[in-house]
Amino acid sequence: MIRLIGVVALLLAGAAGGTAGTAPPASPASDDEVAKGRTLYAQCSACHSPAYHRTGPKHCNLNGRKAGSAPGFDYTEAMKNAGIVWGPQSLDRFLQDPLGTVPGTSMTVAGLKDPAQRAALVQYLLSLDAHHADCNGQADTGD
């Protein structure tokens, strides 16, 4: 029940705005939630890596970063000009419907429709900082 309330709150906050300004601090995530998100992230690994650019940008140090700003990655103009700052609500909204959230993005997946899976993936993405093993000790240099 508590998990459902958290997911509903996350979705409502995303519907209310959550893409402008500074990202709010990430809510504490359980190790289980982050582990579930890491497992789901494997589906993203054809295009993304936590620590390295591939077809899509790397995800280390994502929380609080302006979309389209990772040095060394060639973003679409749509992503560079989206006005999004990555945080729990903006990630949830984007992962649900990338093309609807940022028309013109090069991320052409349909989106992750299951709210519980999105919440777990968001928690994993927010956990990716320079201290996370998947980031190979990288400093704040990419999203």
Residue 20: its pLDDT value, please?
40
Residue 136: its pLDDT value, please?
80
Residue type, 72: G
Model-level pTM? Answer: 0.75
Residue 92: its pLDDT value, please?
98
pLDDT score of 8 more than 90? no
User: Taking a C-beta distance cutoff of 8 angstroms, is the pair 71, 139 a contact?
Assistant: no
pLDDT score of 30 more than 70? yes
**How does residue 28 score in pLDDT terms, banded at 50, 70 and 90?**
low
Residue 61: its pLDDT value, please?
92
Fold of the domain spanning 2-19+31-135 = Cytochrome Bc1 Complex; Chain D, domain 2 (1.10.760)
User: Taking a C-beta distance cutoff of 8 angstroms, is the pair 19, 83 a contact?
Assistant: yes
- Supply φ then ψ for residue 66, to 5 degrees: -70, 135
Half-sphere exposure of 106 (CA within 13 A, CB side): 14
Tens-digit pLDDT profile for residues 87-122: 999 999 999 999 999 999 999 899 999 999 999 999
- Supply φ then ψ for residue 78, to 5 degrees: -60, -45
Distance from C-alpha of 46 to C-alpha of 83, rounded to nearest angstrom: 26
Distance from C-alpha of 1 to C-alpha of 125, rounded to nearest angstrom: 23
Residue 139: its pLDDT value, please?
55
Please, where are the H alpha helices in the chain? 2-16, 31-41, 77-80, 88-96, 98-101, 115-127
Tens-digit pLDDT profile for residues 64-92: 999 999 999 999 999 999 999 999 999 99
